[in-house]
């Protein structure tokens, strides 16, 4: 059976991890890389001498020897690169946030549908042996009817990104679209029994004089129909990288935690505890978890989806919902009011 041929757009810090994940995935082959600078192009040639290297991602998108294009660029470039991939009849793996606007998200979903191509969004936490185990236990009724979720991250400040794009609100969109977007996705996923979210109320502040838009502390309440709700909270003024998810239901509770010196580590500590209403159980997690491990798994999902029609872990509509929740949360911060969803 022939390999699924990947083109990678973006060869920065996270793009290099994507390249490594593609290269190690059975049934995948890294055929071409697009990188902006001469230095990153040289690094790509040195790391993957069998891959063609382009300076223009539009040129890569027109190649006829690619099945999938993986887009790992600063957020403001997602729509342009993703459109180039779909319009050239390629399946698409698009890093989060899918886009910076719902109009652009809708356009990508429509393009994928018209071309008959897959559109996957990089919500890799859904593939985690830890966070996914919590979801499976919720769906199996292990805590009864889920009513509440608290998803929290304590971490060090964001990396600047190439040319400082992550600290430029015009290019990043807002900081809720950076890491909290993953937690909105998990909350929607964990409480999916209650349908889609109906409203959000959020608060945020900044420790950076003159830059209130760069929100170091952020918290939101995501409301679902029927009374279920989730709290999502993050600080960038902490240290290391510590994430927890606590979910309670009518007949029990789950407490998942993950810690590392940094987010991209292959040596984290993690645990999952389950309260069944009477006793507390430590749930064994047999496979290491962390975004680097889930990135490897994500490539396997894409190969299986393209080759065998297997389901995606996160679709274009999932990506759209994540963007919608983050944009509404930023609107709530700006207005100081509850913002309803009307999708």
pLDDT of residue 343: 62
Q: Residues 86-128: pLDDT tens digits?
A: 999 999 999 999 999 999 999 999 999 999 999 999 999 999 9
Query: Any long-range contacts for 224-229 (C-beta under 8 Å, 24+ apart)?
Result: 224/191, 224/194, 224/195, 224/196, 224/197, 224/198, 225/194, 225/195, 225/198, 226/194, 226/195, 227/147, 228/146, 228/147, 228/148, 228/191, 228/193, 228/194, 229/148
Q: Residues 30-47: pLDDT tens digits?
A: 999 999 999 999 999 999
CATH 3.30.360.10 is the classification of domain 125-290+323-340: yes
Confidence category of residue 167, pLDDT binned at 50, 70, 90? very high
Domain map (residue ranges) of the chain: 4-121, 125-290+323-340
Q: What is the mean pLDDT of residues 220-227?
A: 96
Q: What is the mean pLDDT of residues 278-298?
A: 97
The dihedral formed by the CA atoms of 220, 224, 226 and 231, expressed in degrees to the nearest 10: -30
pLDDT of residue 269: 98
Q: What is the mean pLDDT of residues 322-336?
A: 98
pLDDT of residue 164: 95
Sheet-wide strand order for 91-94? 52-54, 28-34, 4-9, 68-71, 91-94, 119-121
Q: What is the mean pLDDT of residues 147-160?
A: 97
Tell me: pLDDT of 1 over 90. Answer: no
Q: What is the mean pLDDT of the chain?
A: 97
Query: Are 6 and 308 within 8 A, CB to CB?
Result: no
- Residue listed under structure tokens 């890569």: 60
Q: What is the mean pLDDT of residues 160-173?
A: 95
Confidence category of residue 342, pLDDT binned at 50, 70, 90? confident
Q: What percent of the chain has pLDDT over 70?
A: 99
Tell me: pLDDT of 227 over 80. Answer: yes
Q: What is the CATH number of domain 4-121?
A: 3.40.50.720
- Residue listed under structure tokens 């382009």: 54
pLDDT of residue 290: 96
Q: What percent of the chain has pLDDT over 90?
A: 99
Q: Residues 51-91: pLDDT tens digits?
A: 999 999 999 999 999 999 999 999 999 999 999 999 999 99
pLDDT of residue 302: 98
């Amino acid at each position: 059976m022939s390999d699924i041929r990947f083109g990678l757009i973006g060869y920065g810090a996270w793009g290099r991890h994507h390249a490594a994940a593609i290269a190690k995935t059975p049934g995948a082959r890294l055929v071409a890389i697009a990188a902006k600078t001469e230095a990153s192009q040289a690094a790509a040639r040195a790391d993957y001498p069998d891959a063609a290297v382009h300076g223009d991602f539009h040129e890569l998108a027109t190649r006829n020897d690619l099945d999938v294009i993986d887009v790992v660029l600063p957020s403001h470039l997602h729509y342009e690169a993703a459109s180039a991939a779909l319009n050239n009849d390629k399946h698409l793996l698009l890093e989060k946030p899918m886009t910076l606007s719902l109009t652009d998200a809708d356009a990508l979903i429509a393009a994928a549908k018209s071309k008959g191509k897959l559109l996957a969004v990089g919500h890799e936490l859904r593939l985690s042996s830890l966070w996914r185990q919590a979801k499976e236990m919720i769906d199996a009724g292990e805590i009864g009817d889920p009513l509440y979720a608290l998803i929290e991250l304590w971490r060090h400040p964001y990396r600047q990104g190439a040319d400082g794009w992550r600290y430029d609100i015009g290019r990043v969109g807002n900081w809720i679209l950076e890491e909290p977007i993953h937690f909105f996705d998990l909350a929607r996923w964990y409480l999916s029994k209650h349908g889609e979210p109906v409203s959000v109320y959020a608060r945020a502040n900044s420790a950076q004089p003159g830059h209130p838009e760069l929100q170091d502390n952020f918290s939101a309440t995501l409301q679902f129909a029927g009374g279920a709700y989730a709290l999502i909270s993050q600080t960038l003024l902490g240290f290391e990288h510590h994430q927890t998810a606590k979910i309670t239901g009518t007949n029990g509770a789950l407490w998942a935690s993950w810690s590392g010196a940094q987010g991209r580590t292959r040596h984290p500590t993690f645990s999952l505890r389950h309260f069944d209403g009477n006793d507390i159980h430590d749930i064994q997690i047999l496979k290491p978890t962390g975004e680097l491990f889930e990135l490897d798994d994500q490539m396997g999902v894409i190969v299986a989806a393209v080759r065998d029609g297997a389901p995606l872990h996160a679709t274009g509509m999932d990506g759209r919902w994540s963007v919608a929740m983050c944009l509404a949360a930023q609107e709530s911060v700006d207005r100081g009011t509850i913002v309803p969803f009307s999708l």
